[in-house]
Chain A
Amino acid sequence: MSLDAEQVAKIAYLARLQIDDAAIPDYARNLSAILDFVEQMNAVDTSGIEPMAHPQDVPQRLRDDVVTEHDQREKFQRIAPATENGLYLVPKVIE
């Protein structure tokens, strides 16, 4: 599966990853190689096989509806890049 620069740029945007234009051809090459590699999966017919999402075939456990967490804003915001009045600040969102 061969990816060109435009496709790589599109995927990079979906993933919000900035990649230098100069580096895109290398990424395209490596990604294409990886996709070729994984294409080996097509050697086997898997129709009718149930996908396996988890090794354990058990159902989700449920927790009681109880408040167990309390205000730790100060601790958590100590490591934040930008806050004000308890809010996280980000560059303005254009709506």
Chain B
Amino acid sequence: MTALHRMTLAELSRGLAAGDFSSVELTRHFLDRIAAHDGLLNSFITVTDEAALAAAAAADRRRAAGEAGPLTGIPLAQKDIFNTDGVRTSCGSRMLDNYIAPFDARVVEGFNAAGAVMLGKTNMDEFAMGSSNETSYYGPVKNPWDTERVPGGSSGGSAAAVAARLAPAATGTDTGGSIRQPAALCGITGLKPTYGRVSRWGMIAFASSLDQAGPMAPSAEDCALLLQAMAGFDERDSTCMERPVEDYAAGLGEGIEGLKIGLPKEYFAAGLDAEVEARVREALAVYESLGAELVDITLPNSHLSAPAYYVVAPAECSSNLSRFDGVRFGHRCDDPKDLEDMYCRSRGEGFGDEVKRRILVGTYALSAGYYDAYYLKAQQIRRLIRDDFRRAFEQVDVIMGPTTPTPAFRLGEKADDPISMYLSDIYTIAVNLAGLPGMSVPAGLVNGLPVGLHIVGDYWSEARLLNVAHRLQLETDWHKRIPEAYA
């Protein structure tokens, strides 16, 4: 039998159903791998061994009673941004190092109800702000493909854990590319659903109008199974839409003859590494061979995405992070002299530099006299960007391009240059501004490092995206590759 960690989540699910192995066995296998490898990779902040084994045992009992579903007994890792009742939820920050969540996020509830097993909480850029997982209070995460390089961020821990098969799957969140970009740099599949598809209840907010949770796993088929447990209406989230959830696995194998794939000229311009482009074009050739049609399109306001994003996201986060004040939970400084001292020092000590930078930018952008020039302007540009997509989707069914302009960069390479760091999200950001669904799918290697194909769909087209991604994965095996040290 194939080693358990070389099986995709879907294969593990079938294996459990067939009784080839138990959940306890499966869980133990991954816990052992975490123990063996995560010292180097640092992809987990908290490992919940005992609880995981107990949950695995419960899942096996459930299966014996004939009550198992596709995710019952499947171990997975939760990004440390989701509240997990009774378990530390740090959001990668010293501010929440002592925060034991008193409730479960909806995403966690969904997996618990499905009988999945939580292995632990994964490392992430602090408060989801970053593209390299270098801003975490708990230290950087290493890319399993080359441990001197970044895994991407902010869901770097989840991406690395899955890439190294320390977990069959993980959850991530995506505000400007934080699922898709690390998925691309780590050679796994990641999906950011339409804004409003997955409830944000219990998901620590970074930029409320952009954040969305999604699955990260080896394959599109895996992501379909995971999304099924995550999607759905939740009355506790006003921005979560009351829209029925499709069966995401049902249409995975459908043909894609006649699928119109839009290729924005702005995504194949200067700044894109030639080898990355080559891998992307190879993937596009596969689609053509399957009967898809490539159409040149333009998204003329693309170049405004990053500037608009770097106003909207910091503005919203500067407000969202005000609740971290040392009063009711989280870090409080020692011996505060007075209230102001308590606020300033607790927050000064609790937050890292990148978080502070974004809070300052956001505060400035919203401050008296600047609101129109910055925040309002950015929201107007947002509409322009969304309208570009709207026009594009009148011509094409999906839009493709590279997920990132280059493969993984070195640790420390961009740490002093925030702008350069921000530009690594250049292709993914517009999707969050518009609220559209997007995926990254493994498309090959460049100098031994993975690169991703970015696929964007119209609102609520997750099933189609998964189908399109799955079809590529039937023809290629990039999604099955595991870095040698972890194979």
Given contacts A11-B364, A14-B363, A54-B195, 14 further A-B contacts (CB under 8 A): A11-B363, A15-B318, A15-B363, A31-B361, A38-B311, A40-B307, A51-B380, A52-B383, A54-B435, A55-B196, A55-B209, A55-B435, A55-B436, A94-B338
B391 at the A interface (CB under 8 A): no
Contact B376 A56 (CB under 8 A): no
Asked if residues A31 and B328 are in contact (CB atoms below 8 Å), the reply is no
- With both chains docked as a complex, state the minimum distance between the C-beta of A54 and any C-beta of chain B, in angstroms: 6
A79 in contact with B419 given A34-B310, A34-B357, A41-B378 (CB within 8 Å): no
B292 within 8 A of A: no
6 residue pairs, one from A and one from B, having the closest CB atoms: A55-B435, A18-B348, A51-B379, A52-B383, A46-B380, A18-B344
Complex CA gap A33/B332 in Å reads 31
Q: Which residues of B contact A70 (CB under 8 A)?
A: none
Task: Please report the C-alpha to C-alpha distance between residue A38 and residue B378 in the assembled complex, in whole angstroms.
Answer: 9
**Contact between A41 and B419, CB atoms less than 8 A apart:** no
Residue from B318, B327, B341, B419 in contact with A34 in the complex, judged by beta carbons closer than 8 Å: B419
Q: Which residues of A contact B418 (CB under 8 A)?
A: 30, 33-34
B326 on the A face (CB < 8 A)? yes
A60 at the interface (CB under 8 A from B): yes
Q: Is the pair A27, B348 in contact by a Cβ cutoff of 8 Å?
A: no
Chain A interface residue count: which class?
Answer: 35 or more
Report Cα–Cα, A60/B248, bound state, in Å.
Answer: 28
Choose one: A15, A18, A46, A56; the contact of B381 (CB below 8 Å): A46
Q: Mark A2-32, 1 if CB is under 8 A from B, else 0.
A: 0100001001111111110000000100110
In the complex, what residue of chain A is closest to B365 when comparing beta carbons? A38
Contacts A/B (CB < 8 Å), 26 sampled: A11-B363, A12-B360, A14-B363, A16-B343, A17-B344, A19-B348, A31-B357, A34-B310, A35-B361, A37-B306, A37-B307, A40-B304, A41-B381, A46-B381, A51-B382, A52-B383, A55-B386, A55-B434, A56-B196, A58-B241, A60-B238, A80-B328, A81-B329, A88-B328, A91-B341, A92-B338
Q: How many residues of B contact A (CB 8 A)?
A: 70
The majority secondary structure among interface residues of chain B is helix
Q: How far is the CB of A92 from chain B (nearest CB, A)?
A: 7
Shortest Cβ distance from residue A62 to the other chain B in the assembled complex, whole angstroms: 10
Which residues of A from 49 to 75 have beta carbons under 8 Å from B? 49-56, 58, 60-61, 63, 72, 75
Most chain B beta carbons < 10 A, residue from A15, A50, A88: A15
- Confirm or deny: B265 has a beta carbon within 8 angstroms of a beta carbon on chain A: no
**A44 contacts B341, C-beta separation under 8 Å:** no
Determine if B270 is an interface residue (Cβ-Cβ < 8 Å). no
Q: Which of A19, A42, A51, A56 contacts B241 (CB 8 A)?
A: A56
Contact B308 A35 (CB under 8 A): no
Contact between B341 and A61, CB atoms less than 8 A apart: no
Q: Give the B-binding residues of A (Cβ under 8 A).
A: 3, 8, 11-19, 27, 30-31, 33-35, 37-44, 46, 49-56, 58, 60-61, 63, 72, 75-76, 78-82, 88, 90-94
* Chain A residue with Cβ nearest B321: A15
Q: Which residues on B sit within 8 Å (CB–CB) of A41?
A: 304, 307-308, 311, 374, 377-378, 381
- In chain B between 133 and 149, which residues have their CB closer than 8 angstroms to a CB of chain A? none
- Asked if B384 contacts A46 (CB within 8 A), the reply is yes
The answer to the question of B235 belonging to the interface, with a C-beta cut-off of 8 Å to chain A, is: yes
Contact A78 B357 (CB under 8 A): no
Provide the bound-state CA to CA distance between A17 and B360, in Å.
9
Question: Shortest beta-carbon distance, B34 to chain A, in Å?
Answer: 26
How distant is the Cα of A10 from the Cα of B182 in the complex, in angstroms?
Answer: 36
Closest to B364 in A: A11
Assess whether B367 is interfacial by the CB under 8 Å rule.
Answer: yes
Whether, in the assembled complex, B427 has its beta carbon less than 8 Å from a beta carbon of chain A, the answer is: no
> Are A44 and B301 in contact (CB-based, < 8 A)?
yes
A75 to B326, CA, bound (A): 17
Specify which chain B residues have a CB less than 8 angstroms from the CB of A39 in the assembled complex.
307
CB–CB B339/A49 < 8 A: no
A8:B360 contact, CB within 8 angstroms = yes
Q: Tell me, in angstroms, the Cα distance from A42 to B328 when the chains sit together.
A: 41
